[in-house]
């Protein structure tokens, strides 16, 4: 099949969603499919290139030429409206190469709806977050509690808090309009976890704020090569590892509070970007490295005693959990979102209530004080992670594609 992948970011901008897209593209190409990816470019890397057998088309979005749109020009994320430059690039690619199917990730899909429909190209969309029904993508109210449901005044307030009053209103209304168009234009929605699927379930069409969808669940995945064969033992002075944005939503404040409660604790290594709500002062023994290359991050995780994922929001399906399990490390995490799909509580790690520093400290102490149990959990996590590798999941995605593509094009070429 000729498969057109659409994603807002790609290497060298790499997070969980970007690794998902890259891993999928590489696996599909190895299986003989013809893979092209259209993604956003910065001024430095615009143009066509290749990543192995995957053809990459990087397009600088029109919005990136407006200095007031992005606070970080190196992070030109998709907005909830079509971008003219991205739409033109997709139209050109569809006209020239006639893909059999397109697979979109995140709001870049908004730029593809019209050209794909005009060309009759089936469209699959993976929902990596809650953007189908929430303009901030997080389904969290301003007081940092789970959203109790959409309402125009409440959603306007949340969007204004995140984006500013003018941009927030435009984002909310744009996403509400496009969510209905997505619902009508996408042939199959795929949610990365049960949490996402349940929260973007179909809503009545009269809903003012956003329209839900019916979706199937196919989880995030990791390359098979990340699963370690041997389960290495670590020393008692090996660190605790945290990987992610150093933000309140990712649980950094709760983690630091819990760390202060630990006695004779090893060092705490924090890998990730600082955000506006990152605490300025770190407790003694905690060190922030900033973002690291993925290989260096995984080396750190493999050398850690435990990986901690203390998210305070309904984290859809954080890939770092799978990477920790694949590295045979026990995972202490919040019982939220898609994390509960991955971590088997008491078997591959420990789950704690979100935002509970005391419970997090107790769980970390339990892992740190019992090396045999930690090693056993790591081994169980390693074994469980095999069901979240790309080879274990890609058959399901190929089946989704085949349902929407004429049978004559099912075989890889």
User: Are 131 and 243 contained in the same domain?
Assistant: no
Residues of the chain above pLDDT 90, percent: 70
The pLDDT, as a whole number, for residue 75 is: 55
User: Are 400 and 365 contained in the same domain?
Assistant: no
User: Are 9 and 28 contained in the same domain?
Assistant: yes
141 has pLDDT over 80: yes
User: Are 231 and 213 contained in the same domain?
Assistant: no
Question: Which of residues 7 and 81 earns the better pLDDT score?
Answer: 7
Indicate the number of domains in the chain: 2
Give tens-digit pLDDT for 322-350. Answer: 999 999 999 999 999 999 999 999 999 99
DSSP string, 106-175: GGGGGGTHHHHHHHT--EEEEESSSTTT-TTSS-B-TTSSB-----HHHHHHHHHHHH-HHHHHHHHHHH
DSSP string, 73-92: TT--PPPSS--HHHHHHHHH
| CATH code for the domain in which residue 245 is found | 3.40.50.2000
413 has pLDDT over 50: no
Give tens-digit pLDDT for 24-33. Answer: 999 999 999 9
410 has pLDDT over 90: no
Q: What is the pTM of this model?
A: 0.90
Q: Are 138 and 129 in contact (CB under 8 A)?
A: yes
User: Are 266 and 241 contained in the same domain?
Assistant: yes
Question: Which of residues 205 and 246 earns the better pLDDT score?
Answer: 246
Weakest mean pLDDT among 51-60, 71-80, 185-194: 71-80
Give tens-digit pLDDT for 57-82. Answer: 999 888 766 654 555 555 566 778 89
Distance (Å) of CA 24 to CA 27, 97, 126: 5, 20, 12
What is the span of the domain harbouring residue 362?
Answer: 224-388
Across all residues in the chain, what is the average pLDDT?
A: 90
User: Are 383 and 270 contained in the same domain?
Assistant: yes
């Amino acid at each position: 099949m000729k498969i057109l992948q659409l994603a807002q970011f790609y290497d060298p901008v790499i997070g969980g969603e970007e690794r998902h897209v890259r891993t999928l593209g590489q696996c599909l190409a190895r299986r003989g499919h013809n893979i092209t990816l259209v993604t956003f470019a910065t001024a430095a890397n615009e143009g066509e290139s290749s990543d192995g057998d995957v053809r990459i088309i990087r397009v600088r979005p029109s919005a990136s030429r407006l200095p007031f749109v992005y606070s970080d020009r190196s992070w030109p994320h998709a907005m909830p409206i079509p971008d003219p430059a991205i739409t033109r690039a997709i139209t050109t690619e569809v006209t020239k190469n006639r893909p059999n199917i397109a697979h979109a990730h995140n709001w870049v899909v908004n730029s593809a709806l019209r050209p794909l429909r005009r060309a009759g190209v089936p469209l699959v969309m993976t929902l990596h977050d809650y953007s189908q029904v929430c303009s901030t993508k997080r389904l969290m109210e301003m007081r940092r509690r789970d959203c109790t449901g959409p309402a125009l005044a409440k959603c306007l307030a949340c969007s204004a808090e995140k984006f500013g009053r003018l941009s927030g209103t435009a984002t909310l209304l744009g996403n509400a309009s496009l969510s209905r168009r997505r619902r009508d234009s996408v042939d199959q929605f795929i949610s990365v976890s049960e949490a996402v699927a349940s929260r973007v379930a179909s809503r009545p069409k009269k809903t003012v704020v956003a329209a839900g969808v019916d979706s199937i669940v196919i989880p995030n995945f990791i390359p098979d090569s990340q699963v370690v064969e041997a389960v290495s033992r670590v020393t008692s002075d090996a660190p605790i590892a945290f990987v992610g944005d150093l933000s309140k939503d990712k649980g950094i404040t709760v983690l630091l509070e819990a760390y202060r409660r630990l006695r004779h604790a090893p060092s705490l290594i924090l890998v990730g970007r600082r955000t506006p709500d990152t605490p300025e002062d770190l407790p003694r023994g905690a060190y922030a490295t900033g973002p690291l290359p993925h290989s260096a991050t995984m080396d750190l995780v493999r050398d850690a005693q435990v990986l901690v994922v203390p998210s305070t929001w309904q984290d859809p399906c954080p890939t770092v959990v799978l990477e920790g399990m694949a590295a045979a490390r026990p995972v202490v995490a919040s019982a939220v979102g898609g994390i509960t799909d991955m971590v088997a509580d008491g078997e591959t790690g420990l789950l704690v209530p979100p935002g509970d520093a005391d419970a997090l400290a107790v769980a970390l102490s339990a892992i740190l004080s019992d090396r045999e149990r930690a090693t056993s959990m790591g081994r169980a996590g390693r074994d469980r992670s095999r069901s979240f590798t790309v080879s274990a999941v890609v058959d399901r995605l190929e089946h989704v594609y085949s349902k929407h593509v004429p049978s004559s094009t099912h075989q890889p070429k």
